[in-house]
Amino acid sequence: MVARGDQLELEIDSAAYEGTAVARLDGLVVFVPYGVPGDRVRATITRKRRKYVEASIDEVVSASPHRIEPECRHFGLCGGCRLQNVEYEQQLEIKRELVKELLERIGGVQTPEVRPTIPSPRRYHYRNKMEFSFGTSRWLTREEIDSGEELQKGFALGLHIPKRFDKILDLEECHLQRPPSAEIVNRVREYVVEKGWPAYNSRSHEGYLRNLAIRTGSQTGEIMVNLVTAFHEPERVDGLTSMLLEAFPSISTIVNSINSTRSPVAVEKEIICHGSGQISERIQDLAFRISPTSFFQPNAYQAGNLFSEILRMAEPMQDSLVYDLYCGLGAISLFLAGACRDVLGVENHHESVRMAAENAELNGIENCKFVAADAVEALTPEFVRRNGKPDVLVLDPPRAGLHPDVAKGLLRMKPKRIVYTSCNPATQARDLKILAGEYEIRAVQPVDMFPQTFHIESVVALELG
């Protein structure tokens, strides 16, 4: 039996979902963060549960041939890039195996054929949106604590430490978003600390600064800075705007979003401080306008490959009606439009529906219609009577997957073909198990939208049995 604090020598044999590695000790599963399959490590047990234990690496005794030196100085702290110490080809194989394992274990699909993961054209500097948090409790690194220097502990701007909503790492560099994202973060931090502006405290719900979101047009170079605050202070925002435009003249637009609620994601008002309040992006031949709150694929370099795979799996005919549920800004809808008669995009976020219609007009596409509705509403007999029954249905739900009523609606509607895209293969596998009685899995294609992280996009084609 092992106990917390025991030091063991372990062989890392595989990777688990959410970016941790797996070793086995006399049949006991040991989860080892930042291990690489093929490593031999010396590790200390940090947590013990009935069916597994967790351990942290003290020393890599023998490194895996797939282990590499991470690019970022914050690796191992912020938790964003859990696979940055794994060579990219092995990351792709790890993700393919994870999709396969989740389909088998959660979805009950026996040995599904999972195609090799489609690699991202860019391995770094690919994200077009990053959101950073202000906070009143800064995480101190071991080096900072050991330095003996007097440190600023009551203010931070960066990313949350994993599993600690109240602790924020002051992020000085990040290799996921294009420059000058990290430089903007550092300059904003310097400016607001100098001015003495208070960060929002998530416990007491007091303070001013909540989030700093940066969007970049991967193909256009346009930059949006969105400062989220608890209330509007015109003089403060005007000063920050002037500073940013002087320091970074490439910034296209600056927005101040107001959120006075206790919800971390609510937006009550958007105040445009500079520019149009939107940026533009291109994916292959399509152009898009993006607002501060609208969802868009975070890796535009890879999105074209993802959309091509969805189109290939959908196999629409020229006379087909296609429903696109959770359509967001309409990117997938517009991509499918040229291959079918009509596309109906469904989205419950009204701003996104408005933007989707604008994007259709921007691209001169006339056979796409967008409606503001919940996905479950689009699967009701009344909705189908008004809009027609789809020959093909594509869906890309949030990480939580399908609401049970949506799954029931799909089984009731019975479109001939479903293409289910998900950024969470665990909830996707759960939903596929519900649909298994009526639908057969024809193809599974992982697409790497998030290099260096454990996240993976999984596209599954389903055919009515």
Token pair 């799996």 is found at 313
Pairing of β 321-325 and β 392-395: parallel
Q: Please answer whether residues 81 and 169 qualify as being in contact, where contact means their C-beta atoms are separated by less than 8 angstroms.
A: no
Q: Please list the residues that pair with 274 across neighbouring strands.
A: 254
Structure tokens given for 306: 């993802």
Tell me which residue of 71, 101, 102 sits closest to 86, measured CA to CA: 71
Neighbours of 461 (CB within 10 A): 22
Structure tokens given for 332: 């997938």
Residue type, 256: N
- Active site (annotated) includes residue 423: yes
Tell me which residue of 61, 228, 36, 211 sits closest to 135, measured CA to CA: 211
Which CA distances in Å does 82 have to 170, 359, 403, 408? 18, 35, 29, 36
Tell me which residue of 460, 422, 416 sits closest to 438, measured CA to CA: 416
Tell me which residue of 452, 322, 436 sits closest to 378, measured CA to CA: 322
Quote the distance between the C-alpha of residue 426 and its chain's center: 15
Structure tokens given for 32: 């080892």
Neighbours of 442 (CB within 10 A): 15
CA distance 335 to 312: 11
Angle (nearest 5°) at CA 450 between 447 and 455: 80
Q: Please answer whether residues 437 and 110 qualify as being in contact, where contact means their C-beta atoms are separated by less than 8 angstroms.
A: no
Q: Please answer whether residues 439 and 463 qualify as being in contact, where contact means their C-beta atoms are separated by less than 8 angstroms.
A: yes
- Catalytic choice (273, 327, 340, 423): 423
Is the backbone of residue 45 left (phi > 0), alpha (psi -120 to 50) or beta?
A: beta
Residue type, 231: F
Q: Please answer whether residues 454 and 428 qualify as being in contact, where contact means their C-beta atoms are separated by less than 8 angstroms.
A: no
Quote the distance between the C-alpha of residue 368 and its chain's center: 26
Length of the chain: 465
Residues acting as catalytic residues = 423
